[in-house]
Structure 1
Amino acid sequence: MSNVCYALPPLQGTAEHQGSLADFIWFRTGGPAEWLVRPKDVHDLSVFLAGLDPRTPVLPVGVGSNLIVRDGGVPGVVVRLPKAMAKVAIEPENRVRAGGAAMGISVASAARDAGIAGLEFLRGIPGTVGGAVKMNAGAYGRDTSDILIEATVVTRSGDVETWPAARFGYTYRHSDLPAGAVVVEAVFEGVPGDPKVIGAEMDRIAAEREASQPLRSRTGGSTFKNPDGDKAWALIDAAGCRGLTRGDAQVSEKHCNFLLNLGSATSADIEALGEEVRAKVKAHSGVELEWEIQRVGVFSDDASKKRVGVK
């Protein structure tokens, strides 16, 4: 990755050269962003992307709860939305409008307080609205695509567009949102409900997550997608991978579809452990697990420092 500090378009927010990502990525590993950009607002982001060299890759990042940042860092621009873009508002017809930086729990809580049911599962998604919309995040039998009405995106060219849910082409943990586009707002819709009943369901989800997932560890959430008709954790367990380690990276003993950084693991350790798990599962059951965690950036030993995006 280049150390040349080249000029960027005007920005009202902040742009940090070699900005640390490991400071907030859940695994607490990985190299820096060539540029870590925090725009002031949607207009600021739009103007910035419109003026940015179109050859420069752009990667939106929320709280990094489902991300491996490789040790060589991320070339180009990483966009992180500010807290000012995390507002949540209730609208008529049982709708909730949320900024791209809002956390799932904030959206679920606002819906509960307004007596809007159907968004409780967002309590179990530890990421931002932008990330949930992009990857069709889901939990407890529901997906973001089930509740999304529309979302506002800033395209890589700087255009601000409002997309109806159908335009995202949703499938399991996937959307057709193009590379470099940033989700800045979303509108969700639920149904009328009793706040007490909604709150009880959210409490149940929170308790179930606490009991079954290593929430207090340095992790990246669910590592692999569930294959059709099966559970990734069950295949990993059957292949004898529970507790498997590589350096300070470990397959969680509590939930073996979670990888952990026990303290000093590198991103390379974590990714290599994941690939070892995939190989063992393939050998044992014939199933080829697909990564759910996004892996971005360049390897530290990549001498060419080739620009790469999400894999």
Structure 2
Amino acid sequence: MTTHIDSRLPGAQGEGRMRAVVAQQYGGPETLQLTEIDKPEAGPGSVLVRVKAAGVNPVDWHVLAGHLDSILKVSLPLVPGFDVAGVVEAVGPDVTHFSVGDEVFGYVRTDQVQYGTYAEFVAAPVHTIARKPASLTWQQAAGLPLVGLTALQSLTRVGAGAGETVLVHAAAGGVGSLAVQIAVAQGARVIGTASERNHEFLRSLGAEPVVYGDGLVERVRELAPEGIDAAVDCVGGDAVAVSQKLLKDPSRVASIVDPEVTRLGGHQVWTQPVPEDLAALASLADAGDLTVHIDRVLPLAEAADALRLSQTGRVRGKIVLDVA
């Protein structure tokens, strides 16, 4: 992991300050502090977003802990967060697709990970944002980008379509619950794994729930005797191996957590901030085919608690920070 200490964070002098959650070193949630730092500016190809809400994802605490040092270029001090919903405050000199006052949402991942969305303002490259779905609250919109893009891009990679049967592992979680809704909207039949306490939730999304764990292959075969057409793994473990026992074509499995999936002939998904995909998610939401279940909303000052909740792995839907 490339580490660069930026003298602007925190405690720099001058006008244009904002509140942000900052980590001075790698570690756990306890490293986070709410402090004041310099407000970013909208440079070429970007807009300045006044953050209304910021989504919390497992990748946030993995970045903070240094687990993704082989993938991302991270600089310290670090403001975590990739998901945002807010209002355009300023536009860069060459930006034509957005104007001041536009309501937007996005997955603000840049080549240099340092100035994230756990803040009152974030500078967002225009390719990382789209117009906010009018039907969603700020909190729901902030919870949608990363999980929605991951779900949509996973289903695209395995070619799930109308009339097919799709198995979604960890279907009650952030990504899984969106994958269920998107696949259902595309006309697929969805079987989702979850603990029994989440089965009614999955039924409300249009999925047929099954309990995960030993005997999963047999339980899925009871529902789909001829096998499944595609699978999305949101949990890891033996999910890929189980899926391939059920798939008619073993290559039609995508995993967001298990790199071994490629060795086994499937697809690993590393989510990309594609504006057209964000717009597609917004259209699904505004058509009533997709919503974001919010498990918990916490204030920005409680970002450390939000990450601790995320680390439990028992979140139904999304955790969101209220910044407005």
TM norm structure 2: 0.29
